[in-house]
Structure 1
Amino acid sequence: MIKKEILIGLLVGLFANAAGIYLYITLFSPDGLEETILKAKQEDFLGSIIALGAIANFLPFFVFLKKNQPYRSRGVLIATLIAAIVIAILKFN
């Protein structure tokens, strides 16, 4: 039961991060989604875009806390940590 709740939170966190990335690119980039991601990878600022997308994890994290669903909140936190690890890998490669 607990693992299922954490998995739900993890999936919501990953989706929120992806939605945050998509929202950021559509609002602030003159290029399309694929073009912007390729350009970001070439110019080494893909980690910054992922970090900006991770800001969207605040919403589900606090909603789950407010609804007294701490295991789902932990899943969102794990998704944020995964984003941080990916950012670190991108910065040091």
Structure 2
Amino acid sequence: MIKKEIFIGFIIGIIANAIGLYFAALIFGNGDDFLNVLSSASSEGILGKLISLGAILNLAAFFIFIKKKQDYRARGVLLATVIVAISTFVFKFI
């Protein structure tokens, strides 16, 4: 039961990060297509920063779960945020 709740929180954290990445690409993409923004961000070396901006929605999901007293789902969101941070760190140095 606990692992299921953490997994649900993790999936919600990944989805929130993907939605946040999409919105960040729309805001900073100057009207370009989403995939074009990602490829240009990758070539310019700012893809990690764009992914980090997308993780802001995880903050909202985390506090919603804390407020609803769903601590294990909040742990899953926190786990997703840590994995995104580690992957951003790896993208920075590859």
TM-score by length of 1: 0.97
Residues 38-82 of structure 1: CA deviation (Å, up to 9, x unaligned): 011111110000000001101110000000000000000000001
Map of 2:73 onto structure 1: 72
**Identity across aligned pairs (percent)?**
48
> 2:21 is matched with which residue?
21
Unaligned runs of 5+ in 1: none
Looking at structure 2, the residues matched to 28 and 44 of structure 1 have their Cα atoms a distance apart, in angstroms, of 14
Count of aligned pairs:
93
Partner of 2:11: 11
State the superposition RMSD in angstroms: 0.7
Could you state the TM-score of these two structures normalised by the residue count of structure 2? 0.96
Amino acid paired to 1:59? A
- Once residues 84 and 24 of structure 1 are traced to their aligned partners in structure 2, the CA distance between those partners, rounded to angstroms, is 16
Unaligned 5+ runs, structure 2:
none
